[in-house]
Every structure is written in structure tokens, then in C-alpha cells.
Amino acid sequence: MALLEVKNLGISFGGLRAVNAFEVKIEKGQLYGLIGPNGAGKTTIFNLLTGVYKPTEGIIKLDGVDITRKKAIEINKAGIARTFQNIRLFKNLSVLDNVKAGLHNNYSYSTIEGLLRLPRYFKVEKEMNEKAMELLKVFDLDKEAEYKASNLPYGKQRKLEIARALATNPKLLLLDEPAAGMNPNETEELMQTIKFVQKEFEMTILLIEHDMKLVSGICEEVTVLNFGEILCQGETKAVLNDPQVITAYLGE
Ligand SMILES: Nc1ncnc2c1ncn2[C@@H]1O[C@H](COP(=O)(O)OP(=O)(O)OP(=O)(O)O)[C@@H](O)[C@H]1O
């Protein structure tokens, strides 16, 4: 059974058909790419998968469970986490607290336990600190744990966003243009990090990306969208060499 199975997904905004008949099957542990020109509908698909938008039609199944009409918070709890095209960190919180914010899905104490600083509060806080530091180490951000998130350089802010998404303990991680605004060295490092997350966390990852080096370097399969429709889908190398894709998208 595929971890993510999407059938006949569509959404219209007024007269605009932003996504039409979108289908995909992503297996557990796969690294999958979603590509296409600006305005093709990629981010809209992420918004549909995460419950930000409700589809006009179609079915979304995560691990066999229909999550199509669930609320965003329920979908996150069911196991889908994401990062955004424009970084959305808690800028004034520390790097550590940003990751801890993601951990609240899985660690909790009651308001009373928190207010009265009961033993459970200290136990849970200690566990959360340890877990958050573990995650920060993975991303080589542990030395900056106490920095304000907004003071991190751009490439590190992007990594922190991924760390925070992983803190929610997802089954599926959605990355929206993770390499946007990065220089080639940062992109290269990010590619290694994404591969590492896939292996180390046995994570299933769906990413939107314009950087073809990144896509061909790490994605096993891709779907190319064009005007909201699937143009081509399958093994990355074959898709990127498809004449239709080259003409419509790569422009070569
Ligand atoms: N809330 C909305 N209301 C109206 N139109 C929308 C809405 N969200 C997206 N669209 C439209 O849907 C189409 C697809 O947009 P989308 O942002 O998904 O494209 P994209 O492939 O992610 O593009 P990019 O690579 O530029 O981020 C665009 O024409 C966009 O203007």
C-alpha cells in the first residue's frame, strides 16, 4: 500500500481550474519531486494535501486512511508536515524553541502541571529539550540553539524549518522549494541533508523544486505539472528526458 495515494484531485478558484485530475502514488520511504512552471498548481496541491484548501473533487489517502476533508490540524496530527516557499519560522523565538513548538504534537503536560511547575512539567520539558537538541544536531544547528531564529543565515533558517516540521513526527514531509534563494554550495549541502533525513528517519518526502540539479540528484520519481494538469509522471531521468517535458517546461 502506498503511503500517499491521491486520486482525481481537483480545485477551482472561481473560473480558474488550478488543479485538474491530479493523481499520485508515493511509497513509504520514497523521495518524490513535483515540478512545473510558475503557476502550474504545485503549491495549491500542497495546500490541498495539508487541508488549507478543500478540493472540489478527489480523494487523498494517507497510509490507507481517507484524509480528504479533514482540518489542517487533524491532517498534521495524522502525519503530514510541511515547509513553506517563504520561510515561516517564529522569528523572535530561539532556534531551540522553534523545534520545541513542533514537538507539542507528541509531548504534553496540562495547564495546571505547567502553571504549578509540577514534576511532570519538568520531566516533559527535559525530554523535549533533549529531543529538540537531537534534531538540531542532525541539521548541524545545535551550536546555535539559543540564537534568535531570525539571526540565522538564510540557508540555516531553511534547515531549521525542516527540523521543526520533522519534530511533529510526520509520516510524510512536504518541502516547498527548499533550495529557493540558496547558493550552489548551500543547495549541495541541502541535498545531502534531505537524503540524510530520508535514510535516517526512513522518511517519505515530497518536494516542489525549480532547481533541476537538486531534482535529478535526489528524487527517485517526479510528476511534471503544466496548467494544473499532469504532463508527465514516472522515474526522474526518463521524465526529464521526455521531449514533451523538455519542450513545455525546460525550454531546451
Ligand atoms: N487562493 C487562491 N485564489 C485564487 N487563485 C489561486 C489561489 N491559490 C492559487 N491560485 C491560482 O492557482 C494557480 C496555481 O498557483 P500555485 O501557487 O499552486 O502555482 P505554483 O505551481 O506553486 O507556482 P510557483 O512555482 O510560482 O510557486 C495560479 O494561477 C494561482 O494564481
Complex ipTM value: 0.94
Query: Rounded to an integer, what distance in angstroms lies between the CA atom of residue 23 and that of residue 25?
Result: 7
* Structure confidence at residue 2 (pLDDT): 94
Query: Rounded to an integer, what distance in angstroms lies between the CA atom of residue 206 and that of residue 22?
Result: 15
Position 19 confidence tier, pLDDT thresholds 50, 70, 90: very high
Highest mean pLDDT among 11-15, 21-25, 114-118: 21-25
Q: Is the pLDDT of residue 22 over 70?
A: yes
Burial of 73 from C-beta contacts in 10 A (0-12 / 13-18 / 19+):
exposed
Cβ partners under 8 Å of residue 109, min gap 6: 118, 120, 121, 124
Q: Is the pLDDT of residue 125 over 80?
A: no
* Structure confidence at residue 164 (pLDDT): 92
Q: Is the pLDDT of residue 252 over 60?
A: no
* Structure confidence at residue 109 (pLDDT): 65
The protein residue whose alpha carbon is closest to atom 29 in ligand 1 is 39
Which triple of cell numbers denotes residue 171? 509520516
Cα 9 to averaged position of ligand 1 atoms, centre (Å)? 15
**Residue 43, number of CB atoms within 10 A of its CB:** 17
- H runs (alpha helix) in the chain: 42-49, 72-78, 95-103, 111-115, 119-138, 154-167, 184-200, 212-218, 236-240, 243-245
Q: Is the pLDDT of residue 118 over 90?
A: no
The protein residue whose alpha carbon is closest to atom 11 in ligand 1 is 18
Cell 500542497 maps to which residue? Answer: 46
Cell 477551482 maps to which residue? Answer: 12
Cα 128 to averaged position of ligand 1 atoms, centre (Å)? 37
The protein residue whose alpha carbon is closest to atom 5 in ligand 1 is 13
Cα 79 to averaged position of ligand 1 atoms, centre (Å)? 24
Average pLDDT over residues 85-94: 82
Domain assignments of the chain as residue spans, ordered by start = 90-154
